[in-house]
Amino acid sequence: MQGRVGRTAGPGLRHRLRQRFREWVNRRIPAARAVTLDQKRIFIFPSRTGLFFALCLLVMLITAINYQNNMSFALTFLLATLFVVGVLHTYANLSGLTIRALRATPAFPGQQSEFSLQVERGRQRDHFGLHLKWPGSGDTWVNLTDQDMVQVHLHMAVGDRGWFSPGRLLLESTYPLGLLRCWTWIDLDLCAMVYPQPLACPELPGLATDNPDGAAIPIAGSDDFYGFTDYREGDSLRQIHWKGLARGQGVQTKRYAAYADRSVWLDWDMFAGMGTERRLSHLCYWALQFESRDQEYGLRLPGLALEPGKGDRHRDRVLQALALHGIQSRPR
């Protein structure tokens, strides 16, 4: 019975301890766009290798004692004090670094978002073997030797619609001796926007258009090509005349005839009776559909209307509106 109580208490206690630790770290290292590392933020402790090294030192010490060999004593002490000096050098490898949040690319749920950071050094000294990682992201190692700053890109799968916060960034290093591990958990004020999960539905229930008669417009067959225009920012990459570009004619965009007069409104009210997320998912699906068909579309959400348009920039605005619908602000 007692064992059982112990077992149930164990995880609870551990959970509470972890909670307390997280709160303590949050107080100690608050979130910021850029964090400069100083003694308040850097933790240092012997690494597993360091413990192994200590064991080796013990063997050396016993050898020195048993053989009463003064030079062996001296060497053992030299290595022990090297360990101590290593504390300062390991610490100096992180100290003075500034980690700056650059951007995070938006992504659909379950997809990878790219988080970009910049690591800058504050002093004229070389930094080696800086290991950066978010829980759940890939690993990166960087050196700061020739240049004063380096950009780091980490990829991580994002969660549900809205803002995705990657949590605390781990920055650690064991340079120069590997005997000590120096690390910090930084809460960078960096979030990735997560679009709604596109959810297919066979047809748009009540299609609202700009046409006076209100009839549905056939969507297919809208790609009657009529000519080229010079590329303008915001044009879809898909419509760039690549062959022409390769021939050296400059960047041109293919223009299609049908879209000017066939704009569609995607409306919140089209999916009446469904839940918020489902509505947004369907709207998202259709926005992507129209975009891929190169057709103009607008968006109407409660309290927000985006005039019909198309192109990458328009699509991003639409997706952003869908992603942040009903979400007050960035977390924190």
Burial class (CB in 10 A: 0-12, 13-18, 19+), 180: buried
Residue 45 as a binder of another protein (CB under 8 A): the answer is: no
Distance between CA atoms of 293 and 236, rounded to whole angstroms?
11
Q: How many CB atoms within 10 Å of residue 248?
A: 6
Among 43, 114, 118, 131, the residue binding another protein under the rule CB under 8 A is 131
- Total residues at interface with another protein (CB under 8 A): 52
Q: Which residue has the tokens 């839940």?
A: 275
Closest distance to another protein from the beta carbon of 95 (Å): 6
10 Å CB burial of residue 285 (0-12, 13-18, 19+) is: middle
- The reply on whether position 118 binds another protein by CB under 8 A is no
| Contact call for residues 196 and 281 (beta carbons, < 8 A) | yes
Residue of 179, 216, 225 lying closest to 85 (CA atoms):
179
Mask of contacts with another protein, 135-174, x by CB under 8 A? ----x-x-x----x-------------------------x
Of 9, 17, 51, 88, which lies in the binding site for another protein, with binding defined by CB under 8 A?
88
Please identify which residue in 46, 89, 309, 312 interacts with another protein, judged by CB under 8 A.
89
The reply to whether 76 sits near another protein by the rule CB under 8 A is: yes
Cα(227)–Cα(147) distance, integer angstroms: 47
Q: Which stretch binds another protein (CB under 8 A): 9-17, 21-29, 68-76, 292-300?
A: 68-76
Q: Does 34 bind another protein (CB under 8 A)?
A: no
**Closer to another protein by Cβ: residue 174 or 295:** 174
Contact segment (CB under 8 A) with another protein among 57-65, 196-204, 239-247, 293-301 equals 57-65
Residue 51 binds another protein, judged by CB under 8 A: no
Of 275-304, which residues contact another protein (CB under 8 A)?
A: none
CB of 141 to another protein, least distance (A): 5
Q: Kind of pairing, strands 127-133 and 140-144? A: antiparallel
Report the nearest approach of another protein to the CB of residue 298 (Å).
Answer: 48
Asked if 46 is part of the footprint of another protein (rule: CB under 8 A), the reply reads: no
Strand partners of residue 300: 267, 305
175 lines the binding site for another protein (CB under 8 A):
yes
CB of 84 to another protein, least distance (A): 6
Residue 125 contacts another protein per CB under 8 A = yes
122 contacts another protein (rule: CB under 8 A)? yes
Q: Is 75 in the site for another protein (CB under 8 A)?
A: yes
Q: Of the listed pieces 119-127, 211-219, 224-232, 241-249, which binds another protein according to CB under 8 A? A: 119-127
Rule CB under 8 A: is residue 178 a binding residue for another protein?
yes
- Tell me which residues touch another protein (CB under 8 A): 49, 52-53, 56, 59-60, 62-82, 84-86, 88-89, 91-92, 95-96, 122-125, 128-129, 131, 139, 141, 143, 148, 174-178
